[in-house]
Chain A
Amino acid sequence: MLNSIMLMLLVGVFVGILGSILGIGGGMIITPVLTLGMGLDIKYAIGASLIAVIATSSGATIAYLRDNVLNLRVAMFLEIATSVGAIVGALLTGVLNPIFLYILFGLLLFFSGANMVRKLWGKNSDQITHTDDKIAQDLRLNGSYYDKNLHKEIDYGVTNVPTGFGIMFGAGIASGLLGIGSGAFKVIAMDTFMKMPLKPSSSTSNLMMGVTAAASATIYFFNGSILPQIAVPLALGIIVGAAVGSRIMQMMPTRLMRIIFIPILLYLGLQMILKGFGVTI
């Protein structure tokens, strides 16, 4: 008993650090540890992942709000798309063949991974866009944040708002229908399509992730898929890890964040495409 609690605490710290830096939930780490490592039913792994998403989100958002890294307006505006998408996704369960979605989202992850590689090697990598996007201005989405790595305040513009909104809606459908945390897609919508810098994208995704997950959490809470002896030590570890990670991220060069993110996107993309063909890894 003590061993499994210690293991969950440690896994939690690791997931919390990685998740808070990249703006993802960490289900891809938790699920294999619980199912393959501890022989637990996938149902309990999903329940634990959901709690992990909320813990990462709440643990990291505290620091990101305090240090003014995230963009609250972008978060709330896009949250409309993800949460409606999540409900639609849940309603579509059993109606839509998930194969196509898995493949579609797998390809989107590959595309974004490739795009990130391009940004990594490109001459003007991570150049800040200053656009006069009409929708972004009307919605006052443009923002600024203090980069603790570059030691300066960075003003940035937001563009392609309808495309970003659409991707977010898709991300919501995916999380409702496929039962996945859609943190990676949220970062993609902001970083790849709306041209936001990576740090505000990741921290804004962190804030949104918790809200999306909370929407389906009550279902899991009352249907018996949450084992408190697993979820509690995991959540406690994550809160600590996320508090640490959200401080590390602000000091990190954006380049390093991309270097960590790219293999994760490719792994997730591969995982989804294989799942579409019925292979689970």
Chain B
Amino acid sequence: MKQTKQPAASEMRSVEQTIGKILRWGVVVAAIIMILGLLLYLINGSLGVATNYHVKNFHEILFGILNGKPYAIMMAGIFALILTPVLRVVVSIYSFYREHDSLYVVITSLVLVILLTSFWLGIEFHL
């Protein structure tokens, strides 16, 4: 059992290294956007939107960013952060595929499908 275990452990190691690297970039990008928004909020002294306003779709975020609204930039950073776990699942599927671990390609793909289903349920039906 020991002999079959060693190569499996090193395979897993490289999978984890790859995901770790990509995940770091995701977090860094999200953090940079959040810091920019926060700095702009501090400089302007306001969020640049009405008090009770909240964003309802991606167009509003894009429009807000183009108009240099601190609110929109900070929300974009938060959304980038929300995407990092999704990114983690997607990269895991690819890494397992590269390691010829078909069982875990199936398991991880199933996780992605469930995750996307819940996104869809949330956006369409406001679960």
Contacts and interface: CB of A to CB of B under 8 A. Distances in A.
B31 A54 contact: no
A45 to B, nearest CB: 16
Interface residues of B, number: 60
Interface stretch (A28-36, A117-125, A208-216, A256-264): A208-216
A76 B118 contact: no
A5 interface: yes
Interface centre among A5, A70, A77 (most CB of B within 10 A): A77
A236 B17 contact: no
Contacts of A173: none
Interface centre among B35, B70, B111 (most CB of A within 10 A): B111
Given A54-B85, A62-B20, A217-B82, A229 B41 contact: yes
Contacts, number: 164
A1 interface: yes
Contacts of A59: 27
A180 interface: no
A contact face: mostly helix, strand, loop, or mixed = helix
Interface string B48-92: 000000111100000000000011001101110111111011001
A65 B17 contact: yes
Given A215-B119, A226-B78, A58 B23 contact: yes
Given A211-B115, A236-B35, A216 B122 contact: yes
Contacts of B12: 68, 72-73, 143
A233 B38 contact: yes
A218 B82 contact: yes
Contacts of A51: 78, 81-82
Interface in A70-114: 70, 72-73, 76-77, 79-80, 83-84, 86-87, 90-91, 93
Contacts of B38: 5, 232-233, 236
Contact of B85 (A5, A73, A211): A211
A109 B77 CA distance: 35
B127 A84 contact: no
A262 B85 CA distance: 28
Interface string B32-47: 0011011001100101
B100 interface: no
Nearest to B119: A218
Nearest to A63: B20
A84 B115 CA distance: 9
Contacts of B122: 215-216, 218-219
Given A54-B81, A210-B88, A65 B37 contact: no
A210 B85 contact: yes
Contacts of B35: 236
19 contacts: A2-B42, A54-B85, A58-B30, A61-B20, A68-B12, A72-B19, A84-B114, A86-B118, A87-B114, A90-B121, A210-B84, A213-B85, A215-B118, A218-B82, A221-B78, A221-B82, A228-B74, A228-B78, A229-B74
Interface of A: 1-2, 5, 51, 54-55, 57-59, 61-62, 65-66, 68, 70, 72-73, 76-77, 79-80, 83-84, 86-87, 90-91, 93, 139-140, 142-144, 155, 207, 210-211, 213-219, 221-224, 226, 228-229, 231-233, 235-236, 239
Interface of B: 5, 8-9, 12-13, 15-17, 19-20, 23-24, 26-27, 30-31, 34-35, 37-38, 41-42, 45, 47, 54-57, 70-71, 74-75, 77-79, 81-86, 88-89, 92, 103-104, 107-108, 110-111, 114-115, 117-119, 121-123, 126-127
